[in-house]
Amino acid sequence: MQIQNETVAIVTGAADGIGWATAQRLAADGYHVALLDLRGEAVSARAVELGSAHIGLACDVTSEASVTAAIASVMVKFGRIDVLINNAGISDQTGSTLEQNVEAFDRVLAVHLRGTFLMSQSVAKVMLAAEPAQGRGRGSIVNLGSIASTIGLPSRNAYSAAKAGVLGMTRAMASEWARAGIRVNAVAPGYVRTALVAELERTGVVDAKRIAHRTPMGRMAEPAEIAEAIAFLASPKASYITGAVLPVDGGWTAFGAPESALPDIIA
């Protein structure tokens, strides 16, 4: 779908994984995309890959000053913001609850919750000051939840708290800004083949084969499949959807029987 040329989207954590897939998808839909990431050089290179209509900016979503500076740069370059994708994220610390430390706990909450709050607050200031656009209101925000938002993953304390919190914030902001024409939704992916999951595999937290067996669809997701759902919620096609959480998990959270109830995976 070709969006009007001047439509502008911000994607955080866009140097890799789901963020990068989403930036590519939104660029293909005709958005000007501002790609934000901790790693400024990596995300600038990604923006160059996408073409001259896009920019890459270093931004730490946990820092108010960094977020304010990045949004100011986006406004200088494009003059408006229509879509925000709060995707930046980090994995949890490994080990049992008794072995975990509170600094790492705080860091996970900061990236997912403080980051989503600061980015949404800063972008909403811009959106609320703008005139509503035909068919898309003042804007749309999509947050990244997880299966950990709603079900228990042993020892993933901070990550689960953060992702449940993201859903709470999604509903609160959706309710606050609905009449102002800003929609706020979340996607809740299952396991996706990205660097974040590769790291969990490397540290033994995740066993890819067992994940595939526990997933009704029999495999992990590709980042582009999550990007597709994000792009839909961000677009005018989702014009009456706000405060919603869309699971994109191959049936993971729908399934509640013992694993043996699933047929063997046929490769």
Q: Is 241 exposed, middle or buried (0-12, 13-18, 19+ CB in 10 A)?
A: middle
Q: CB of 123: closest distance to ligand NDP in angstroms? A: 14
159 is catalytic: yes
Residue nearest to ligand NDP (CB): 17
Whichever of 161 and 192 has its CB closer to ligand NDP, that residue is 192
Please report how close the Cβ of residue 172 comes to ligand NDP at its closest, in angstroms: 18
Catalytic residue among 31, 159, 191, 240: 159
**What is the 3-class SS of 105-164, one letter each residue?**
HHHHHHHHHHHHHHHHHHHHHHHHHCCCECCCECEEEEEECCHHHCCCCCCCHHHHHHHH
Q: Which two tokens stand for residue 26?
A: 């939104």
Task: Decide if 194 contacts 152 (C-beta within 8 A).
Answer: no
Q: Would the CA dihedral through 138, 67, 14, 34 be positive or negative?
A: positive
**Contacts to ligand NDP by CB under 6 A:** 12-13, 15-19, 37-39, 59-62, 87-90, 111, 115, 144, 146, 189, 191-192, 194-197
Buried b (16+ CB within 10 A) or exposed e, 196-215: bbeebeeeebbeeeebeebb
Smallest distance, ligand NDP to C-beta of residue 102, A: 18
- Cβ distance 78 to 10 under 8 Å? no
| Shorter beta-carbon distance to ligand NDP: residue 166 or 174 | 166
**Residue 56 burial (CB count, 10 A):** 25
Least spacing, CB of residue 52 vs ligand NDP, in Å = 22
- Shortest Å distance, C-beta 180 to ligand NDP: 26
Crossing angle of helices 115-129/157-177, nearest 10°?
20
Nearer to ligand NDP by Cβ, of 29 and 225: the residue is: 225
CB nearer ligand NDP, residue 59 or residue 137? 59
Catalytic (active-site) positions:
159
